[in-house]
């Protein structure tokens, strides 16, 4: 049975004390302990947040990115070994903002995936189309290419450590969101791709998250769809009340 997961992606937000306070407020709240919660702060917060959540069996942490390099002559880089040493269990790879702002290609992301998996980190692999691909109805082919080049080289055992997050770029930070029908349509398409590449069992056990302006207002309807297993939450994860409300939307 696949896991229900809610990921809070803080992006480049929160000073050190603000991050600590947010985690304290989340941890003292009442929320569904059957949902897996993943907090993805900036590198600055990772060690502290991992320590704060270490005694909670359903709460863990994720890095927002990682280096594909093992070289230590890389100023500004953060290796998967460094991330693992902080008690972190996940890493987000291929977020649309990394793809667009840093021109990360599918092949570069594949290298990051390989590095993470080989170091026993779980991968939250992001994929999603822009408004142009949505309007000209080429988004299925576009998504298939992202997924095929990014993660379908993995064998079934390796793939079991992958969570997929569908993030329609046209809905991120825009105040728009895909309708529940639009989101379910893509999630079902992704699950079918997994079934074709691997098998029914792998497909049914893979968690697929929605990551396009999901908030405490629309989460319940989105999470009620049969192929949506949770959310990759951006701005709404910066409020303990809103984030906990999203967790409790299942």
pLDDT bracket for residue 122 (50, 70, 90): very high
Q: Read off the tokens for 104.
A: 């990360």
pLDDT (average), residues 138-150: 98
User: The domain at 5-247 falls in which architecture?
Assistant: Alpha-Beta Barrel (3.20)
| Structure confidence at residue 156 (pLDDT) | 98
| Structure confidence at residue 108 (pLDDT) | 97
Active-site residue 167, yes or no?
A: yes
| Structure confidence at residue 72 (pLDDT) | 85
The yes-or-no verdict on residue 152 having pLDDT over 90 is yes
pLDDT above 70: percentage of residues in the chain = 98
Note if the pTM is more than 0.85: yes
| Structure confidence at residue 174 (pLDDT) | 63
Q: Looking up tokens 């900036």, which residue turns up? A: 42
| Structure confidence at residue 173 (pLDDT) | 65
Residue spans of alpha helices (H) in 43-87:
46-53, 80-85
pLDDT digits (tens, 9 = 90+) for 53-64: 999 999 999 999
pLDDT digits (tens, 9 = 90+) for 87-118: 999 999 999 999 999 999 999 999 999 999 99
Catalytic one of 45, 95, 97, 187: 95
Q: What is the average pLDDT score of the chain?
A: 95
pLDDT greater at residue 171 or residue 25: 25
Q: Please, are residues 81 and 106 in contact by the beta-carbon 8 Å criterion?
A: no
Q: φ and ψ at 90, to 5 degrees?
A: -130, 160
The yes-or-no verdict on residue 202 having pLDDT over 80 is yes
| Structure confidence at residue 176 (pLDDT) | 67
Q: φ and ψ at 6, to 5 degrees?
A: -125, 120
Catalytic one of 45, 97, 167, 187: 167
């Amino acid at each position: 049975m696949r896991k229900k997961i809610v990921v809070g992606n803080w992006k480049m937000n929160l000073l050190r004390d603000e991050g600590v306070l947010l985690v304290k407020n989340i941890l003292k709240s009442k929320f569904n302990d059957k949902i897996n919660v993943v907090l993805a702060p900036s590198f600055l917060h990772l060690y502290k947040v991992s320590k704060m959540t270490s005694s909670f069996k359903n709460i863990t942490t994720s890095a927002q990115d990682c280096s594909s390099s093992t070289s230590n002559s890389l100023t500004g880089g953060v290796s998967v070994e460094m991330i693992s040493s902080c008690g972190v269990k996940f890493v987000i790879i291929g977020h649309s903002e990394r793809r667009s702002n840093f021109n990360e290609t599918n092949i570069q992301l594949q290298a990051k995936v390989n590095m993470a998996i080989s170091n026993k980190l779980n991968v939250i692999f992001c994929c999603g189309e822009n408004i142009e691909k949505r309007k000209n109805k080429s988004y299925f082919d576009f998504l298939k290419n992202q997924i095929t080049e990014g993660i379908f080289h993995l064998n079934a055992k390796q793939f079991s450590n992958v969570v997929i997050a569908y993030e329609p770029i046209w809905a991120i930070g825009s105040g728009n969101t895909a309708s529940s029908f639009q989101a379910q349509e893509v999630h079902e398409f992704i699950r079918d791709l997994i079934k074709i590449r691997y098998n029914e069992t792998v497909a049914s056990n893979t968690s697929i998250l929605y990551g396009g302006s999901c908030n405490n207002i629309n989460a319940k309807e989105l999470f009620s769809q049969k192929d949506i297993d949770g959310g990759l939450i951006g701005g709404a994860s910066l409020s303990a009340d809103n984030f906990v409300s999203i967790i409790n939307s299942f």
